[in-house]
Amino acid sequence: MTDAWNKLVERLEELTDLYGIAGLVEWDQAVLMPSKGGASRARASATIGGIMHARLTDPAVGDLLGELEADDSLDDVQTRSVELLRREYDRETKVPAKLVRELTETTNFAYQAWTEAKPASDFAAIEPHLKKVVELKKEQADAIGYEGERYDALLDLYEPGMTSVEVETMFEELVEGLRPMVDTVLDARAPRPEFLSGNYEVDRQERFSQWLTRHIGFDADAGRLDTSPHPFTIMVGQGDIRQTTRYNESDLPSSIYATLHETGHALYDQGFPERWHDLPVGSYASLGMHESQSRMWENQVGRSRDFASFMLRELKKLFETELGSVTPDEFFEGVNYPERSMIRVEADELTYNLHIVMRFELELALFRDELEVADLPEAWNVKMEQHLGIRPGNDGEGVLQDMHWAGGMQGYFPTYSLGTIYSAALFDKANRDLGGLEGEFGKGETSRLLDWLRTNIHSKGHMLDAKDLATKVLGEQPSAQPLLDYLKGKYSDIYSITF
């Protein structure tokens, strides 16, 4: 073990602690912080962020990386850790401090403008802020550098190693299969099941969610499940994974599937090797791979016929009056009920990815200088008609519905669909490797699937980028076909249709 490596690990341990503090502050803000604490919390968060950036970009870190890159005695874990830290160090040091500050300030103003513009459906109120955000993100991409095109630099922040062209190819395959499928399924669907809009006491929903997350493998001694307006999962430290969900008295499935989704994230975080905790390899392969774990537990497991039937039996113990007459077939059909939605976060499993594809196409056009910010509202409406066959009645339910663009998160949206694509392919592989998974789900047994994920995905951390990890596990390049096959199989089962 070299002296340079030991010195680097000391710095990594400090960075890990700082990331944990930042995570705890973020969790507290969403779960416990009083409403008047926002201003001081923003300053505290900025202070922590500044300290982390200073520690990461310290020239001494660059010197240690240079020394270790010339050391041929490092093992695979050390070599990969140096490679990953080099990526992050170069990216952070290439972007001028002035640009970092300007981006932070501009996105803060843009986010505040968005919170007011969305309910008022007033795109003009945010347009100058959003225009400035896009200009600065282009500067950031140019500063970081790229081999293919500008958007690649931003995509790489969230999905390392993936290019715009690769995403385009995968999404074209997805859209080609999805759009006719959506039309066929929606033409065949039955009326919306009544139980989807009932009256479900929140306390009992919470009891079920707390039981469900532990039942599928979440270690409650190494984490928590709380409530927040928007569900999320965050790693505070080793043995401390915080997840949140939300409850709606008139919408029982929303809390169930939010909980399953976040538990998927949490199981991934709890599955990294402890010995790698302070190293760059001891983290997720990409946001898309993280999303694959949440989507798998939410959809491939949670919305399967067998696991839905299992959950219904358990739910009837808590909601006997509300669900007593609901059959397993009705429940399965209800939790998979498809419809065209204006709002991405309310979209069902069948149509959700079309929402993501259109956002990706708009982002790509912006960063290829083929679209101006001022033209986004109409471009959005055209894309909605093209992909989903509906047109927003106003910008609040259209171009203003997400906070991502105001927050400077261009390049993030594709990870949602990449994760969905990965989840279907990985589940198909797990089912072929293990056999009989869905039958076990009917008994509430999911441990064999979790063990497979621990072995093939979680324990690998970030030793490989997501697309390379998926390729290694699948034995082939990931594609949209397993997802399309999965959706065809599900809706053929529900509505007795052929494609």
Q: Phi, psi (5° rounding) for residue 237?
A: 180, 180
**At which residue do the structure tokens 């010197």 appear?**
63
Q: Rounded CA gap, 348 and 340, in Å? A: 8
> Would you call 179 exposed, middle or buried from its count of C-beta atoms within 10 A (0-12, 13-18, 19+)?
middle
CA–CA gap between residue 175 and residue 181 (Å, rounded): 10
Question: Which of the following is catalytic: 166, 262, 349, 440?
Answer: 262
- Please state, in angstroms and rounded to a whole number, the distance separating the CA atoms of residues 12 and 56: 9
- Cα(170)–Cα(181) distance, integer angstroms: 17
**Would you say 122 and 395 are in contact if contact means Cβ atoms under 8 Å apart?**
yes
CB-count burial class (<10 Å; 0-12, 13-18, 19+) for 325: exposed
| 339 is an active site residue | no
Q: Which two tokens stand for residue 264?
A: 């998927």
Phi–psi pair at 258, nearest 5 degrees:
-65, -40
Measured CA distances, 105 to 90, 101, 102, 456 (Å): 23, 6, 5, 41
Catalytic residue IDs? 262
